[in-house]
């Protein structure tokens, strides 16, 4: 095995190492790793992406804002990938291609360009940045990140309900006169 392949193999065995981001092609989904969440964008070409940013922030501040997660409105922006990524890391991640057929690249780019500068609704669970870019790529909004969050919320709600019922039963049994 040559040195290059050995290094490559070692890197893939490291669970904290991300694969190199690859060279994005127009229409590719770009996953950007923020400290507390993943931000998603769609590659347009020539170093530019389209993504959602908060309405009430300057373009520069919107790039890595956690506030974007809690916003109810967003603006569709075309920005340089390297500026949006900043000090974070990213990768090309067309992870839904096995289950969803991508639209033709020309259609993806045309649909994207029409939306630049538009204000859109934003909802962390139902209409987030991942939904937005998958809608452009596949014609259907999909978000594994939102599905996981909904699952976690459901679990916490079910646990809280169970503890509430158990507390009610326990209170009633202590209040019995016999």
**How deeply is 103 buried, as exposed, middle or buried, from its count of CB atoms within 10 A (0-12, 13-18, 19+)?**
middle
Question: What's the pLDDT score for residue 148?
Answer: 52
Task: Compute the C-alpha angle 154/159/163, nearest 5°.
Answer: 150
What is the mean pLDDT for each group of 10 consecutive residues in the chain (178 residues)?
31 41 91 92 98 73 49 90 95 95 97 96 78 95 63 49 57 56
* Other Cβ atoms closer than 10 A to 135: 17
From the CA atom positions of the chain, what is the Rg in Å?
A: 21
pLDDT computed for residue 170 by the predictor:
56
Q: Look at residue 64 in the predicted model and tell me its pLDDT.
A: 44
Token pair of 116 as six digits: 């630049």
- Tell me, what's the pLDDT at 162? 54
Residues taking part in catalysis: 39, 129
Closest CA to 108 of 168, 37, 29: 29
pLDDT for residue 15: 38
Task: Give the domains, in start order, of the chain with CATH numbers.
Answer: 28-156 (3.90.1720.10)
* CA pair distance 162, 167, nearest whole angstrom: 9
Taking CA atoms, 93 is separated from 29, 71, 98, 142, 168, in Å, by: 5, 25, 12, 13, 48
């Amino acid at each position: 095995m040559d040195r290059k392949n050995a290094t490559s193999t070692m890197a893939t065995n490291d669970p904290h190492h991300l694969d190199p981001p690859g060279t994005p092609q127009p229409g590719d989904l770009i996953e950007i790793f923020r400290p507390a969440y993943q931000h998603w964008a769609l590659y347009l070409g020539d170093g530019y992406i389209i993504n959602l940013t908060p309405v009430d922030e300057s373009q520069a501040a919107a790039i890595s804002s956690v506030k974007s997660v809690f916003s109810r409105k967003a603006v569709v922006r075309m920005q340089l990938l390297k500026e949006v990524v900043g000090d974070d890391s990213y990768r090309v991640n067309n992870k839904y291609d096995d289950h969803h057929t991508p639209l033709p690249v020309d259609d993806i780019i045309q649909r994207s360009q029409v939306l630049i500068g538009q204000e859109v609704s934003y909802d962390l669970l139902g209409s987030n940045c991942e939904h937005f870019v998958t809608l452009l790529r596949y014609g259907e909004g999909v978000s594994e990140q939102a599905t996981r969050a909904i699952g976690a919320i459901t679990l916490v709600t079910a646990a809280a309900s169970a503890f509430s019922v158990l507390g009610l039963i326990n209170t009633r049994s202590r209040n019995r006169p016999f």
